[in-house]
Amino acid sequence: MASTATRPPEFMWYFVTHDGPYPWEPEGRRRIQLEDVRALASAMDRLPYTGALISTTGHNTWVLGAAAAAMTKKFTPLLAIRPQFISAAELANMAVSFDDLFEGRLLINVINSESPIWRQHGIWLENDERHELHAEYWDVFNRLVAGEKVTHKGRYLNIENAVANPWIEHYRPHIPLWFSGSSPGALQVVARFADAYLTFAEPVEQLREKVSTVLDLAGEHERRPRIGLRASLIIGETDADAWRKADRLLHATSRATLERKLGVITRGGNAGGTSVTQSRIFAHIPDAGLEAIRSGRVPDSARDLAADDNLWPGISLLQQGPPMALVGGYDSIAERLKEYQAAGVEIFILDALPLLEGAYEFAEHVLPKFNLVPAQA
């Protein structure tokens, strides 16, 4: 693990059409159109990012990923996908078609979400059952992508003589799968199938323990996934500048948003379900800050919801995305990311709002501290 800190990490960005200076409020949200997609995709090609995570918020991930890939030469989309919303055979067809047209640039980020999200799509399975489904689904998917004709009769999948796509030659025999999750069931699936494991930012020692667990479990299957970290950034020239930005975000957030987010997170999940990961992060919000919001008062300072000088779980009370933000000046953010790198992180997937401006700011002021190619003038 220590050897990963001796070489520069890989940096990716976040790509979504739910964007703006504070898009969780209508007045802070931009109306994103195709030219905005082109601008952000072009920035990914121009700046030292290897690709971007395309989430389920905003436009459909396949539509947005295809549009961005068609506008670029090297941009690699990491598409957020839930199993069984599309049959394994059809997803394999879509994946090999995308991979063929865009010369092997596809990555898939497997997401589990929470029970209410699945029920919206007619799938009534709880967490443990969904992890069992993952195991069947991705095993079949991998075999189809590898070119097999698959017959499978299991608890969740029952298919006969399925093929991914008989009309095109597969660009490669495997599409990389990225997984996340903190529950024991999720980590077992990660150990079997993940080419990369993606975790949210947490205190470094807590994250180090999780990374060690993931690598030990994967080692039992003679596998070694890469380790990625997903975090939001609130950055400025100095720490004070960055925390002033966090203050503005907190005070621009409506009372209704704060109450709604506080309620669902207290129950354990963003969608009203349960999330082990969310609960781990939420535990780091200071009680005094939470009591202020419960009593009807927005804390005077974003630091009242901070875990330490740079970790801000208070972001979980605002946005739908990562429940932990890194807040700080350019030097502080670089140092915190290097601490995560020393703990085993090899890939960073980051965002700073608005996404286009944030991508340039981070590339120009923080990435050069990692001895990467600096942003072009």
Write out pLDDT tens, residues 307-361: 999 999 999 999 988 999 999 999 999 999 999 999 999 999 999 999 999 999 9
Choose which CATH entry (3.40.50.720, 3.20.20.30, 3.40.50.200, 2.40.128.260) describes domain 2-239+322-370: 3.20.20.30
Q: Residue ranges of the domains in the chain?
A: 2-239+322-370
Quick: pLDDT tens for 60-96.
999 999 999 999 999 999 999 988 778 999 999 999 9
Which residues, 6+ apart, have CB-to-CB distance to 297 below 8 Å? Answer: none
Amino acid of residue 234:
I
For residue 190 the two structure tokens come to 């990660």
User: In angstroms, rounded to a whole number, what is the distance separating the alpha carbons of residues 201 and 370?
Assistant: 19
SS3 168: coil
User: In angstroms, rounded to a whole number, what is the distance separating the alpha carbons of residues 220 and 367?
Assistant: 35
CA dihedral 206, 212, 213, 214 (to 10 degrees): 110
3-state helix, strand, coil in the chain (%, to 5): 45, 15, 40
pLDDT in the model for residue 131: 83
SS3 150: strand
Percent of the chain whose predicted confidence (pLDDT) is above 90: 75
* In the chain, alpha helices (H): 34-46, 61-70, 88-101, 115-120, 127-145, 184-193, 204-219, 239-252, 255-266, 276-282, 287-294, 330-342, 355-365
pLDDT in the model for residue 283: 83
Phi and psi at residue 227, to the nearest 5°: -110, 125
User: In angstroms, rounded to a whole number, what is the distance separating the alpha carbons of residues 319 and 298?
Assistant: 16
pLDDT in the model for residue 116: 62
The per-residue pLDDT string of the chain (377 residues; one tens digit each, 9 = 90 and over) reads 434 456 789 999 999 999 999 999 999 999 999 999 999 999 999 999 999 999 988 999 999 999 999 999 999 999 999 887 789 999 999 999 999 999 999 999 998 756 666 566 566 556 678 888 889 999 999 999 999 999 999 999 999 999 999 999 999 999 999 999 888 989 999 999 999 999 999 999 999 999 999 999 999 999 999 999 999 999 999 999 999 999 999 999 999 999 888 876 665 554 444 556 666 777 888 988 888 888 888 999 999 999 999 999 999 999 988 999 999 999 999 999 999 999 999 999 999 999 999 999 999 999 999 976 444 43
**Mean pLDDT, the chain, whole residue set:** 90
pLDDT in the model for residue 117: 63
User: In angstroms, rounded to a whole number, what is the distance separating the alpha carbons of residues 168 and 96?
Assistant: 8
